[in-house]
Amino acid sequence: MLNYLARRVAFGAAVLIGTSLITFLVGFVIPADPAVTIAGAKADPETIAMIRGQYGLDRPLYVQYWRYAERAAHGDLGRSFVRRQSVTRLIVDRLPATALLAASAMVTSLVIGIAMGVVAAAYNGRALDDALLIFALTLVSMPVFWLGTMLLVAGGLYLRSFPLGGFQGPRSLLLPTLTLALGSAGYYSRILHNNLAEVLGQDYIRTARGKGVSRLETMIRHAMANAMLPLITLAGLDFAGLLSGVVLTETVFNWPGIGRLAFEAIFNLDVPLIMGTVMFSAFLIVVANVLVDLLYAWLDPRIRLESV
């Protein structure tokens, strides 16, 4: 098990190094001079040259990358060219708002998705199953940006029951939560339905039914444990993605999270902030992968035995 964990951590470290290298190189492909961004478009050449030397922009590319990677390994993601603040501090300050939205959306999507999946599996092949399938596919197919805009128009503009953006209390959390949760709920419901339908056809399920165990009890006590395993993997990775900031949703609702921060960084061509948000997202996804793999092995002894 320790060897398996070590391999996963080593693979995650390689992913982070590759991500840092790619984002660093892309930062130099962007048609914008960081020194001009810092000094302003009307700055004289002497000022721009001084800023280049101050930030080490006049040094070779490999030297700049090594310095960036060394600082990033210690949690220092540089300073924002536009905001003139620590990138790490900016991300940490926005993390609570994103974490609140991510947790709310994840809980909502799991509750709706599991409920729909269980009901569809219980009525497998019947009209209710077909209706839930159509509903789930509709949820999955709706673009997040469009859904968020429609919810904002309906709930904020016409009903006047919800704020039109920003964080102004618990009511402002509902619309962005639904925007993020509905599509995932539809996807989770189909995954769980397919897994339950397959598990319910296994021999041990028929044995339990033959012993007089009710269909509902069989599904909850025996089938759900195996059917939930793939859903755990998807939910863990999705939660990491939500924590790293959902750009479109946070932009539509002007939510003060990491996704909105990333959008502003891209709009302003703030290279250190762009790289910082990308690296933070990659770090969360790598950590989520490792944790999900460990949880999977803990829940399924067969995986644990194969990894030894």
Q: Positive or negative CA dihedral for 170, 92, 99, 101?
A: positive
pLDDT at position 308 is 45
Q: Which residues contact 83 (CB under 8 A, 6 or more apart)?
A: 90, 270, 273
CA 139/CA 24 separation, integer angstroms: 37
Q: Which residues contact 287 (CB under 8 A, 6 or more apart)?
A: 12, 240
Confidence of residue 29 (pLDDT cuts 50, 70, 90): low
Helices 2-29, 271-299: inter-axial angle, 10-degree rounding: 160
Q: Which fold has domain 93-307?
A: MetI-like fold (1.10.3720)
Cβ atoms of 171 and 161 closer than 8 Å: yes
pLDDT in tens, 95-118: 898 889 989 999 999 999 988 888
Predicted TM-score of the model (pTM): 0.78
pLDDT in tens, 37-50: 666 667 677 777 77
pLDDT at position 108 is 93
The DSSP output letter for 255 is -
Among residues 292, 257, 297, which one has the least CA distance to residue 277?
257
Q: What residues does 79 pair with on adjacent strands?
A: 86
Q: Is the pLDDT of residue 255 over 50?
A: yes
Cβ atoms of 121 and 197 closer than 8 Å: yes
Q: Give the max Cα distance, the chain.
A: 86
Cβ atoms of 236 and 188 closer than 8 Å: no
CA 174/CA 158 separation, integer angstroms: 16
Q: What b-and-e string marks burial along 138-175, b requiring 16 or more CB atoms within 10 Å of the CB?
A: ebbebebeebbeebbeebbeeeeebbebebeeeebbbb
CA 289/CA 234 separation, integer angstroms: 10
Among residues 163, 159, 182, which one has the least CA distance to residue 171?
163
CA distance between the termini of the chain: 5
pLDDT at position 32 is 61
Cβ atoms of 59 and 223 closer than 8 Å: no
Cβ atoms of 279 and 23 closer than 8 Å: yes
CA 21/CA 15 separation, integer angstroms: 10
Of all residues in the chain, the percent with pLDDT exceeding 70 is 82
Q: Extract the runs of DSSP E, i.e. beta strands, from 56-211.
A: none
Domains of the chain, residue spans: 32-74, 93-307
pLDDT in tens, 55-75: 677 777 778 788 888 888 888
Among residues 233, 203, 232, which one has the least CA distance to residue 218?
203
